[in-house]
Amino acid sequence: MSAVPDDRWSHLLGAAERAEWRLDEVLSEDAELDFERPFLPAALSGERALGWASGRERLALNHVRAHGYLALFGIVEEMILPFVLQQTLAGELCALDPVRALLTFASEEAKHIALFRRFARVFERGFGRPVPAVGPASAFARAVLGHGDLGVALAILHIEWMTQEHWLACVRDDEAIEPAFKQLLRFHWLEEARHARLDALLVERLASGADPAERERGLDDYLAIVVLIDEALAAQVQLDRRSFERATGRRLDEARADELCRLQHAAQRQTFLASGMRHPRFVAALAGMGPGAIARVQSAVRSFDLSLPHPN
């Protein structure tokens, strides 16, 4: 840890202390959500690609997707929390600001997990029925954390920059979005902006201590974790299809069910994979992973079916 100048860690620690927020400021347990409005912008939810669905049905799918969106964040953050704690212990305890900055990072992720669980309770009360989500989080965390630290740190960096992209490019200027949900995303984004920078320092620390073969393995591990995320997306799409049918009372025939699942998987891959793997700051971090790293990751993005028909 001593190879990294302390002032970057100290700066991020100070920013965390100034911007701290409490759960109840963002979403109270008895909050009421407005189900007449969309929760997610169309660019993230993908329901506009379904030409045959009515306006009410698209809105119901948007709500189901918003629930799944946060559920997926909850699952990945349950993996990030133990990883960051482990990295805190791996550092030099005499360098207090890095230790405190990483503990704050972990504490904020624990708060986000609690916020997302609270949101799920508030959401399901208003929506009128449970909405199943992939899991259990512990199994996903075990699968991801079975990979090397550098690969895991890269996957977390992808997730942190992806979160930035969602807020800045899709959510911030969308006035139609349900206000309580939008506020939740804003407060989450505020802390994730710092996490991205902290995780970039972790990647730098791990990569600088690795030889070329270890960096190559780190990239292999990162791409294997991307596949794990993609498998979780595919499973969530199947759950969402059934939640959509229950919420709308519409039983889809095989062709429409297949179309919904294919388009939703493409939309989820855009949201959770491409927006991280193509983020300029993530690509810049890949440059430090050795020649060919950027090309390998971009080739992996192209291997995914991301195609969506023009929204109407």
Q: Judged by CB under 5 A, does residue 111 bind Fe ion?
A: no
DSSP state letter for 144: H
Using the contact rule CB under 5 A, the part of the chain among 107-115, 210-218, 220-228, 243-251 near Fe ion is: 107-115
Considering beta carbons, is residue 165 or 192 the nearer one to Fe ion? 192
CB of 3 to Fe ion, least distance (A): 24
Counting beta carbons within 10 angstroms of the beta carbon of residue 103, is it exposed (0 to 12), middle (13 to 18) or buried (19 or more)?
middle
Cα of first residue to Cα of last residue in the chain, in angstroms, is 51
Q: Judged by CB under 5 A, does residue 118 bind Fe ion?
A: no
CB of 258 to Fe ion, least distance (A): 33
Distances (CA, A) of 133 to 58, 70, 82, 192: 19, 10, 21, 23
CB of 192 to Fe ion, least distance (A): 5
Using the contact rule CB under 5 A, the part of the chain among 115-123, 145-153, 165-173, 189-197 near Fe ion is: 189-197
Q: Which residue has the tokens 């998987």?
A: 265
Considering only residues 61 through 90, tell me which ones interact with Fe ion, judged by CB under 5 A. 77
| Binding-site member from 58, 65, 195, 241 for Fe ion (CB under 5 A) | 195
CB of 108 to Fe ion, least distance (A): 7
Q: Judged by CB under 5 A, does residue 197 bind Fe ion?
A: no
| Binding-site member from 78, 192, 221, 240 for Fe ion (CB under 5 A) | 192
Q: Which residue has the tokens 């230790």?
A: 99
3-class DSSP state for residue 60? Answer: helix
| Binding-site member from 48, 111, 112, 182 for Fe ion (CB under 5 A) | 112
Q: Judged by CB under 5 A, does residue 166 bind Fe ion?
A: no
Considering beta carbons, is residue 166 or 195 the nearer one to Fe ion? 195
Sign of torsion, CA 283 102 221 134? negative
Q: Judged by CB under 5 A, does residue 199 bind Fe ion?
A: no
Cβ atoms of residues 10 and 230 within 8 Å: no
Considering beta carbons, is residue 166 or 269 the nearer one to Fe ion? 166
CB of 261 to Fe ion, least distance (A): 28
Considering beta carbons, is residue 108 or 240 the nearer one to Fe ion? 108
Amino acid letter, residue 221: D
Distance CA 254, CA 303 (A): 26
> Among 169, 177, 176, 199, which residue's Cα sits nearest to residue 270?
169
> Among 302, 278, 311, which residue's Cα sits nearest to residue 158?
278
Q: State the residues that interact with Fe ion by CB under 5 A.
A: 77, 112, 192, 195
